[in-house]
Amino acid sequence: MVFTNSEKIFIDRISNDCILSDNKFVKIYNFLVINNYILVKDFASCQLILLDLCWVNSGFLDETFQKIDYYLQQNKRIILIGCISNSIRERYGNELYYIDSKNHVAVESYFEYKINLKKVESYSFKNKISILDTDNDFKQYGELLGNFESKSFIEISTWCEFNCSYCNIKKIKWATKSLAIQDIMDQVKEDFQQWKTDFYLLSDDCGSYGIDMGTTFVDLVEKIFSIHESIRIYITNINPVFFLKYYPSLKKYIFNGRIPYMLLPIQHTSPRILSLMKRWYSIDRLMENLLDMRRNSKIELCNHIIFNYFQETLEEFVDTLKLLQFYDKTFYFKYSDINNIYGNDFESSDVKEKIILLKKLQHKYNIDITI
């Protein structure tokens, strides 16, 4: 099926503050705009709906099902964008079209175009933002729609080397696939010539970069920094295992401000729960390094915590709060057993008390609660 630019398209998003998802969404959005597709604000007038989704927990998945069922009842054709779960394919099959997170270039197989996705991606961000700025509805999608004058976003790799028990993305992404260092360097040099100095390195886990090519994330960082002393790198996600491994090499760049941001998702502080999650690292070592960064740098640190994981006690939950002092922002995600690991007995009885406590601390510690 190939859609022409006479189609009226409505875009709907189920977003979870995922910069990887936002980055792909912006590229697809620009591809449609630059190729003169008609984007409408009222879905009733459209022929086609692009539903950009995140399915990291059952709440998002349930919302996705509700939206799909409703749109199908309205006789709309639907393309799903993002991390597509097997349950969606099993449920709807050929009723829907799919552009999954491994292959967003598949947008070209669904739409007629004069300018392909690669050329759209090579447009300067100044051109891109002038297009996006015409529609205030897309202002809400975080840093990607902020001030682009100095920013460049590069997806250095997809997938990761770990197999966390709570993660369903692994089912569709498998092992790490890295972009060649030379390709990244070429993009950095090109963007630097356009006065870009802030480079956001995007990945499911930046630390996994290079595992498939016999190199490391530290090698990449040092090569990028060698281009010019004004370049800064934003680490958008790094597993604590690789953070602990690479911190001795990275901390000089953290201390001198060349790495001003890092998402370091610790997920929990309980050894019992971390073991169930299949996440193997020392909380004590992590806290030592967090304290070291806080004392010697101005880096902005963000964290993810999964609470209410398999019969989490109130004491285990409260223990996670000790991390708040180190972080500028912490996202607390209420666990949902989307992989059906534990059955119906995974949820603790005091979940309401935990949420009340988080809300009391919300403003003091800049907490975001995803339920």
CA 276 – CA 182 distance, rounded (Å): 39
Instruction: Calculate what percentage of the chain has a pLDDT beyond 70.
Output: 84
Measured distance CA(188)–CA(105) in Å, rounded: 21
Average pLDDT over residues 296-319: 95
Segments forming the whole domain that contains residue 13: 8-122
Of 122, 147, 173, the position where a domain reaches its end is 122
For residue 298, being part of any structural domain is answered with yes
- Per-chain mean pLDDT for the chain: 86
Q: Is 85 helix (H, G, I), strand (E, B) or coil?
A: coil
Q: Residue 203's pLDDT is what?
A: 92
Do 223 and 294 share a domain, yes or no? yes
Residue 315 located in a structural domain: yes
- Whether 2 maps to a domain, the answer reads no
**157 and 261 housed in the same domain:** yes
- According to the model, what pLDDT value does residue 111 have? 93
Residue 169 carries which DSSP code?
Answer: T
Q: Taking residues 62-66, what's their average pLDDT?
A: 85
Q: Among 138-152, 199-213, 327-341, where is mean pLDDT lowest?
A: 138-152
Shared domain check, 85 and 146: no
Give residue 124's pLDDT: 42
Residue 306 three-state SS? strand
Among 103-112, 219-228, 358-367, the least confident range:
103-112
Regarding whether 103 and 234 lie in a shared domain, the answer is no
Provide the residue type at 226 as one letter. Answer: S
Confidence of residue 53 (pLDDT cuts 50, 70, 90): confident
Residue 335 burial (CB < 10 Å; 0-12/13-18/19+)?
buried
My answer on whether 302 and 231 are in the same domain is yes
Judgement on whether residues 172 and 266 belong to the same structural domain of the protein: yes
The reply to whether 94 and 182 lie within a common domain is: no
CATH number of the CATH domain containing 319: 3.80.30.20
Please determine, for residue 85, whether its predicted confidence score (pLDDT) is greater than 70.
no
Burial track 161-179 (b if 16+ CB lie within 10 A, e otherwise) = bbebebbbbbebbeebebb
Query: Would residue 1 count as lying in a domain?
Result: no
Task: Give the C-alpha separation, 299 to 239, whole Å.
Answer: 17
Looking at the 3D structure of the chain, how many domains does it have?
2
Mean pLDDT of 92-111: 85
Token pair recorded at residue 257: 């401000």
- One domain, residues 251 and 155: yes
Same domain for 176 and 64 = no
Backbone CA torsion sign across 26, 28, 32, 35: positive
Q: What mean pLDDT is predicted for residues 315-333?
A: 96
* Domain end call among 105, 122, 139: 122
Per-residue pLDDT, 166: 84
**Among the listed ranges 157-166, 259-268, 307-316, which one has the minimum average pLDDT value?**
157-166
Structure pTM? 0.85
pLDDT at 151: 84
Does some domain include residue 3? no
- The DSSP-derived string for 320-344 is HGGGGGG-SEEEEEE---TT-SSGG
pLDDT of residue 129: 39
Both 47 and 110 in one domain: the answer is yes
| pLDDT, position 338 | 67
pLDDT at 145 over 60: no
The pLDDT value recorded for residue 101 is 67
Verify that 25 and 132 share a domain, yes or no.
no
- Which carries the bigger pLDDT value, residue 130 or residue 181? 181
One domain for residues 200 and 144: yes
